[in-house]
Structure 1
Amino acid sequence: MNTEIQNYNDSQTAEDKKICDLLSAEINAFLHEAESKIWHRHPVWFLEGNPVAGYSKLKDSVRLLFWSGQTFEESGLHNEGSFKAAEKRYTNVDQINIDDLKRWLEKARTIQWDYKNIVKRKGVLIRLK
């Protein structure tokens, strides 16, 4: 695992660390071809330079974020922001459904919007896959 991400996980409370450790292990295993790093102070996984999945500690939960998640057509994810991102929030590691997570990660691999070039395109997203 990326040592920066492990340090991020280790800095969380005991329950949040369990959530972060499980999420990072599953994302690493499923998106084995992805580059992972701390980006804007949070763990994020990239495919060909494009952010696809990540998580962050919020005040009351850990948020799992999929940059193209609004186009996954998944009732378990909630829209986040004004672009195409969707999220799922966890307060306990037992809330994580591994089957859902793997399905969402597969969609993160196959459904992508071009966030890598969003600044160059002045906020306009185009679909890559």
Structure 2
Amino acid sequence: MAHPAVITSRFLEGAERQRAWGTGLLVVAGLLWIYAAFELFTPYHADRGHCTAPFARDQDTVHAQYDQDSSAVFGSDDHEKAVACAADRDWPKPVAALIIALPLTAVGSSLMTAGTVGARVQRLIRDMEQSTS
């Protein structure tokens, strides 16, 4: 049977390991979130020229514009450029980054919380035992 100090030490090492894994997963998830945000908020260059950031893009130029007769104006340069810019943006990469980041964020948060709480409770128990003896 192991000594209580050894058991406490092993428990604290495990809690620190959990916290380290959680922190690592949160860093990776954060980098993926930053990449996706970069793709959404920064302008880029496409085949037809400079494109505004998808977040700031005027949606009226992407969708068909209508004149007073309710007939669509598809041939305008603004519309064609907006459609080309929307088509040239490589959306699977930032979407995949967000899909991967979501579970990494959840697992990383859980591990970090469990490790932190476990270590704090163990230290509290140790401090209470020391104060009563």
TM range (shorter): under 0.3
TM-score (norm 2): 0.20
**Rg bigger for which structure?**
2
Greater percentage in strand: 1
Flag the structure with higher helix content: 2
